[in-house]
Each structure stands twice: as C-alpha cells, then as structure tokens.
Amino acid sequence: MTVTAWTAAQVARKVIDNKELFILDVRNADAFEDWKIEGHQFEYLNIPYFELLDGVEEILPKIPTDKDVLVVCAKEGSSIMVAEMLSEAGLSVGYLEGGMKSWSMYLEPIKVGDLQDGGELYQFVRLGKGCLSYMAISGGEAAIIDAVRFTEVFTKFAEEKGVEIKHVFDTHLHADHISGGRHIAAQTGATYYLPPKDAEEVVFEYAPLTDGLTVQLGASQIEVGALYSPGHTIGSTSFVIDGKYLLTGDILFIDSIGRPDLAGLAEDWVGDLRETLYSRYRTLAEDLIVLPAHFMIIEELNEDGTVAKRLGELFAENHGLNVEDEEVFRSMVTDNLPPQPNAYQEIRHVNMGKITPDHDEQTEMEIGPNRCAVR
C-alpha cells in the first residue's frame, strides 16, 4: 500500500479542525513523554523505531485501519523506514515530513478579530511549541508582537496583506524561543522595541518599550498601548490593542500564569508577579480579550484554533488568579516548578545578541515544549 508524506501544515489542520488522527511515534519513550503532537482527538502509540528493526508484525493489531495513521520521528528518517515497513505489510500510512523539527517550526496564522476602521488582528499559532505571535494591521501599516524566529512568515504575510511593518515589539526577553523581532525590524526598516529592564545585557540598538508608550497604525485611531506588567521578567510589558484586546505576553495564560524564575530571580520577582496579576490587571476592563504569548495544553485552544479568552472569565476560572493567600501564591510560583525550557540560558543569550547560532543549532535549542507557566 501507499506511503504519503504529510506536511506540518496538514497535521495542523487536523488539530484545528478537531479531526481524528492515529499517531505512531517512533522516537524514544523519553522524547515522547517530554513532547509530542497534541490534538483534541489524537490517539497515540509510542514504539521506538529500533524495536521494529526485525519487523512490524507485532504492532499491526494495534494500528487502526479506519482512520488516518501518521508515523512520526525526530527528523523523518526513521518514520519513513517504519512507514515503508507498514506499507509492505498492507497498510496505507503517512509520515511527517521533517519530523518533530518541522512540527516545532510550523506557524498557522488565524484571524482573532476585526479592529475599528477595517483593521484586523491575527494570531500566529506555533502548535508544536505553543508560541503565539501577533500582527495588528490597519491603514496599510502593521505592528508585530512577540514574533518567533521565522521572519519570512511575517514579512510574507504583511506583503500579502499589502501592509508595511512599522513597529515590532517583544513583550519581554524570551527564554523559551528565539525572537525574530529585531531581524524583522532590520529587514523592513521598522522600529524594534524591547523593555529596557530586560535589555541591560543586549548588544544591539533598540527602542525602549516603557509603560504608557503608544503607537498608532496608519491614519486610523487604532492604538497599541504598553502597560508595564513585571513578574515573568522584570521588564515584562503587556499591550492593549484598540481598547479591546489585552496581550499579556508570558504573564498570564488561559489556564496558567507565568513563572518568575527563568532569569534566575524567582524570589525577587514573585512580588511583581503578584502585583501585576492581583492589582494592575484588576483595574482593567473585564471585557478585554486576553491574548497570551503561549499556550501549554491543547485544551487552551478555542474551536477556531485561536487562544483567547475574556479577562473576566480568567479572573473567575484561572487558578493562578485565585490564590487568596500571598504565601501560598509565593510557594506555588517558586517551589516545585516544572523543568525549565530546553537550552533556556542559551536562548536568552541569542535573544540578547550575544551569540549567533546557525539555523540547525537554533532548531536544536528550541526542541521541546515551552514551559513558561506554572499551574
């Protein structure tokens, strides 16, 4: 039977459209435990490829014939081998082109909503890594927030929309993924903004992103306004777009809150985190739609694939916003934290401009989930 090559984009469709898929993941048990392709209706079987070298007969009864079957590995080589073995045994299966590496890199742009005067706001969902980037467009101009490193996805999108990228922001110095922000700015002539308190060690020029800074897009009244909201990092800054959307960066997620320890200063920053979540955000309108820079679990995706929820609902439902006792909160976000993201120190140095790894090294650094939250 046939072996079909699937692109990461096709797999992303299965996730977003809530479709069924059977994934035969042939990586190590450790790698699978740590990080896999998450889908609402996905089933999994994890058998390392090296246990199948003598044949696939033993696993045939476990593989369904009434739904799509996708074989997945780290880069693709082993998945092709196993897919061909299954094919020879009479099954029709697919393999993921480029493996988990390509899954980690894929971005799906989804429209979040309309802004006034014909403007639009897009969320770029990086399903494999849980990163969320944003582009607000209006009056022929665009602002980008928390761009991941695949700069051409953003520049091409802006080109298709016929808009000029004018402002590029990072809400904070990222530790889990490599920012594309300053490279997009360099390519397009846009201004790159970074919170100065996160930028003490950076080796490039940037515009300071400080509390109260606003930019306007085109001739319209659409405003992108900065709100200082420290806690995940000391410089972490949120944005209110068009009085309607609250971009929270890594401070507040749908089902969790930001962790304060990735720059090594959990004890110092926990108070800031508390202040931001329990005081500053409380003064904002509950009808604001929260748009975070990450999601951690597939349940955080809405039906249309976006990651967005009313602030009022988060106040009611998000556990991290409902810890009355300050001491309990303090211990929750400083003790028993989940493992740190892969290569997070190196990633911070890349984002400071201190080291410049090549494409393959960057891919390697970003392998695995983002782990920026505490639940």
Partner 1 sequence: MNITQTLDAKGLACPMPIVRTKKAIDTINSGEVLEVLVTDKGALNDFTAWAKAGGHTILEQKEEAGVLYFYIQKA
- Each residue 296-325 as x (binds partner 1 by CB under 8 A) or -, in order, gives ------------------------------
> For residue 176, which amino acid is it?
D
CA count, 13 A, side-chain hemisphere, 352:
18
CA–CA distances in Å: residue 11 to residues 18, 122, 168, 369: 11, 20, 29, 17
Nearer to partner 1, 32 or 157 (CB): 32
What is the residue-wise DSSP string for 215-259? EE-TTS--EEEEEE--SSSSS-EEEEETTTEEEEETSB-SSSEE-
Rounded least distance, CB 78 to partner 1, Å: 4
> Considering only residues 3, 70, 73, 215, which one is a binding residue for partner 1 as defined by CB under 8 A?
73
Rounded least distance, CB 337 to partner 1, Å: 24
Nearer to partner 1, 49 or 134 (CB): 49
Nearer to partner 1, 53 or 60 (CB): 53
162 is a site residue for partner 1 (CB under 8 A): no
Rounded least distance, CB 347 to partner 1, Å: 18
Query: Within positions 80 to 139, which residues make up the interface with partner 1, using CB under 8 A?
Result: 81
Take residue 167 and report the two structure tokens written for it.
């402002």
Nearer to partner 1, 39 or 99 (CB): 99
Nearer to partner 1, 74 or 105 (CB): 74
Vertex 113 angle, CA 108 and 114, to 5°: 130
Take residue 366 and report the two structure tokens written for it.
């970003």
What is the residue-wise DSSP string for 13-34? HHHHTT-EEEEEE-S-HHHHHH
Rounded least distance, CB 70 to partner 1, Å: 17
- The CB density around residue 111, as the number of other CB atoms within 10 Å, is 11
- By rule CB under 8 A, what count of residues binds partner 1? 16
31 is a site residue for partner 1 (CB under 8 A): yes
Query: Active site residue: 52, 73, 145, 293, which one?
Result: 73
Query: Within positions 32 to 61, which residues make up the interface with partner 1, using CB under 8 A?
Result: 48-51, 53
224 is a site residue for partner 1 (CB under 8 A): no
> Considering only residues 9, 29, 219, 355, which one is a binding residue for partner 1 as defined by CB under 8 A?
29
73 classed as catalytic: yes
Nearer to partner 1, 31 or 284 (CB): 31
> Considering only residues 11, 14, 72, 78, which one is a binding residue for partner 1 as defined by CB under 8 A?
78
Nearer to partner 1, 195 or 368 (CB): 368
* 30-37: long-range contacts, CB 8 A cutoff, minimum separation 24: 31/74, 31/100, 34/368, 34/369, 35/100, 35/367, 35/368, 35/369, 36/72, 37/11, 37/72, 37/96, 37/100, 37/103, 37/127, 37/128
Rounded least distance, CB 74 to partner 1, Å: 6
**Is 307 in contact with 292 (CB distance < 8 Å)?**
yes
> Considering only residues 23, 74, 165, 190, which one is a binding residue for partner 1 as defined by CB under 8 A?
74
Rounded least distance, CB 52 to partner 1, Å: 9
Vertex 365 angle, CA 148 and 304, to 5°: 40
CA–CA distances in Å: residue 321 to residues 87, 253, 288: 51, 10, 16
Rounded least distance, CB 62 to partner 1, Å: 18
5 is a site residue for partner 1 (CB under 8 A): no
Residue ranges binding partner 1 (CB under 8 A): 28-31, 48-51, 53, 73-75, 77-78, 81, 364
- Catalytic residue annotation: 73
